[in-house]
Amino acid sequence: MELRSACRVFLFPIQMLYHVVRASLSALLPSRKKDLTKEVVLITGGGRGIGRHLGKEFAKQGAKKIILWGRTEKCLKETAEEITLSGTECHYFVCDVANREEVYKQAKVVREKVGDVTVLVNNAAVVHGKSLMDSDDDALLKSQHINTLGQFWTTKAFLPRMLELQHGHVVCINSILSQSPIPGAIDYCTSKASSLAFMESLTLGLLDCPGVSCTTVLPFHTNTEMFQGMRVRFPQLFPPLKPEVVAERTVDAVRTDKAFLYLPWTMHALVFLKSFMPQVALEEIHKFSGSYTCMNTFKGRT
């Protein structure tokens, strides 16, 4: 073994320890937050739910311009007006991220009318809320096209310019269900697992691209109309997240360049347990917590 290679092998565990200690200290100590006053933020699914609160939170924390994309003009218009009244320039465009040609067309319109997007928030998502055998084929395809492939098209549309400017941020609102799937949401869980893999690959692929970062947010069940009717067994122990809290923590993660954010932090324990516990034990956890049957009462928006 060459001397240089031997030194690298020797230094590797020391480097790992350094990064672990540094990350631990960063979690405990206040982090320096980057300024948003020059950022142009585009949020998909921005008319309602978490997307609506994300637009308001980015505006609150000083973003220069907010751009909302979505499929329902009424919701987009209402949210845009609310953000504009708060004093932040806001634009909205009707765009279905599942439609690749429409994404590229509207991205060009955005650049011409508003300017370069520097923060892209991939938030648009749908859930069918049925088992595989009860699911309509077109509904299953819709989930994959919006929740997963939509990210491909929006990121391809806006990332090249970020790389040219050496300035940008790609954000994904994912879900803890990407790592801990439940019955009755097979379309959503599958699409979010694919979305997580997309972001993990993209995050690593941008390591040598100065000025461009990624943030993936993995929240627990959030109290929006999208998952209306979903019930866990112990809501006092596992209360649904408020969408405004998810938005606030997401913007904070962007400002501190946090790559992956689990909400709440206890979701780390769930991922850790899954890494070594036998399947039968995990099944008992699902049954005890009520996640095994939580979609039985689902009546949310698809």
pLDDT tens per residue, range 214-272? 999 999 989 888 888 777 777 777 788 999 999 999 999 999 999 999 998 888 888 88
- Give the active site residue among 18, 104, 188, 262: 188
pTM score, whole prediction: 0.90
Tell me the residue type at 134. Answer: D
Sign of CA dihedral 48, 45, 224, 58: negative
Q: In the prediction, which pLDDT does 238 show?
A: 77
DSSP codes, 54-118? HHHHHHHTT-SEEEEEES-HHHHHHHHHHHHHTT-EEEEEE--TT-HHHHHHHHHHHHHHT----
Q: Specify the residue for token string 């400002």.
A: 255
Give how far the C-alpha of residue 35 lies from the chain's centroid of Cα atoms, to the nearest Å. Answer: 21
Q: Determine the CATH number of domain 36-289.
A: 3.40.50.720
Q: What is the rounded distance in angstroms from the CA atom of residue 43 to the CA atom of residue 70?
A: 9
Q: Is 18 a catalytic residue?
A: no
pLDDT in tens, 7-30: 777 677 777 776 667 666 666 666
Q: What is the rounded distance in angstroms from the CA atom of residue 63 to the CA atom of residue 9?
A: 44
Q: In the prediction, which pLDDT does 275 show?
A: 86
Residues 243 and 227 sit within 8 Å (Cβ to Cβ): no
pLDDT in tens, 52-84: 999 999 999 999 999 999 999 999 999 999 999
Residues 68 and 264 sit within 8 Å (Cβ to Cβ): no
In this structure, what token pair is assigned to residue 37? 């006053």
pLDDT in tens, 134-169: 889 999 999 999 999 999 999 999 999 999 999 999
Q: Is the pLDDT of residue 2 over 90?
A: no
Structural domain boundaries in the chain:
36-289
Q: Is the pLDDT of residue 1 over 60?
A: no
